[in-house]
Amino acid sequence: MIEQHRRWYIVLATFFLSVLLYVDRVCISAAKDSVSRDLALSETQMGWVFSAFALGYALLQTPGGILADRLGPRRVLSLIVAFWSVFTGLTAAVSSLGSMLVVRFLFGAGEAGAFPAMARAIYSWIPMRERGLVQGVNFSGSRVGAALALPLVSWLIADIGWRLSFVVLMVIGIGWAILWFLFFRDEPGDAPWLSEQERSWIVATRQQARAPSKAPVSLSRAITHSRTVWALCGQYFSSNFVFFFGLTWFFPQMKQRYGLTGVEASLFAAAPMIAGAMGNWVSGWWVDRLYEGGAWKKSRQLPAMFGFLLATIGVIGSAHAATALEASIWFSLCIFGSDMTLSPSWSTCVDIGGKNAGTVSGAMNMAGNIGSFITALAFPYLLAWTGSSLPFFYVAAALNLAAIASWLAIEPAIALEVDT
């Protein structure tokens, strides 16, 4: 029997990286009350703290993807994880709104290349028929990380304070970067721990054969003139607009809206993240089953469109919930659906990008995190202007419906053919 399982060591490593990404990212939400009290920050100023991360994260997506394509995910992931971990630790040293904004912006810039670099690693290491599940596994790690971060960081802050908590997370991140550099190789052929049989099987099945392009163009032109790329960016903007609210404002608004303690609110806010992990697994499985049945396009479209429909229902239900439990259940449905869109989105980036998967996925993730940036500011400002959270939830629902239409324009089987 051909040995065909050691590539999953790579998936395990990227899963844990995804967990770490979101533990580091969500800890600022768990620390919000302590940070705002120590630095004397208002709600709208905390909105700028949240958005500073999202802006840095969005702006460096495409450069991070380009670096991963050119230098390989081994070096790029090792460097960027170490970089953002340093700025996680430096968060402990801030003393004002200005210094916090700078540190959080650079922290976001450091995290920016992570998922595009992982997408490039998946192209090299994962057969096409497993791509949906692997993407689902990786993104479920981010949701597990977010779910764990809220109660665990809340406990850690209560025990050692918010500043030292950020230092602990820095040490963990640098440790992961060292292990990745020692273990991972950019191509299966360079990994001494992989059997020859599995190595050959990965290379033979990692991309479906395509006819060569008659008129290849530059990568930048291929991306900017692709209807599929534009549609991917639009729907990912919608997805992140909803999800980033769950990472940032859902926890504090639950505390205020229902009069909860920090621990109580963290449990209600963690539930949607667990639902998101489940949504990633379900969608990843569905993507691969449809693809194996010969429905390449439907394997990407149907899970995403169904997910956005569930997200629309869930966000409206949460807006009108009478109790914290009801709000958590409805928002869990929303995040379950929203996260069903991730596996098909990132699988499509790898489908059409191939060796340029890092750049293509970086472009999509940049658009998505512009949505995150707007979310972090839209919620507190809309709340201040209208005195109600309902307008924000209605905007989120409308964006989800628009995203369903976007998927009708996406063609995963049409590759970006570029000059080499």
What is the full DSSP assignment across 233-290? Answer: HHHHHHHHHHHHHHHHTHHHHHHHHHT--HHHHHHHHHHHHHHHHHHHHHHHHHHHHH
**Residue 420, pLDDT above cutoff 60:** no
**Residue 211, pLDDT above cutoff 50:** no
- The pLDDT assigned to 213 comes to 46
Which two three-digit tokens encode residue 219? 């990568």
CA distance 169 to 34: 17
**Residue 12, pLDDT above cutoff 70:** yes
- Give the containing element (helix H, strand E) for 342: helix 342-353
18-66 residue pLDDT tens = 888 878 877 887 787 888 888 988 888 888 888 888 888 888 888 888 8
Closest CA to 8 of 123, 115, 126: 126
Q: At 23, phi and psi to the nearest 5?
A: -65, -50
Q: At 145, phi and psi to the nearest 5?
A: -60, -45
Q: Selecting from 1.20.1250.20, 3.60.21.10, 3.40.50.620, 1.10.10.10, what CATH number does the domain 8-208+216-409 have?
A: 1.20.1250.20
Average the pLDDT over 400-420 and give the result.
85
CA distance 404 to 117: 27
Q: At 383, phi and psi to the nearest 5?
A: -65, -40
Average the pLDDT over 69-89 and give the result.
91
Tokens 């998922």 -> residue: 115
Length of the chain: 420
348-378 residue pLDDT tens = 988 888 888 878 888 898 888 888 888 878 8
- Give the containing element (helix H, strand E) for 15: helix 8-30
- The pLDDT assigned to 115 comes to 82
CA distance 361 to 120: 9
- DSSP strand E in 42-92: where? none
The torsion defined by the Cα of 19, 24, 27 and 32, in degrees rounded to 10, comes to -150
Closest CA to 133 of 285, 6, 294, 306: 285
Average the pLDDT over 230-237 and give the result.
93
Reported confidence tier of residue 2, pLDDT bands at 50, 70, 90? very low
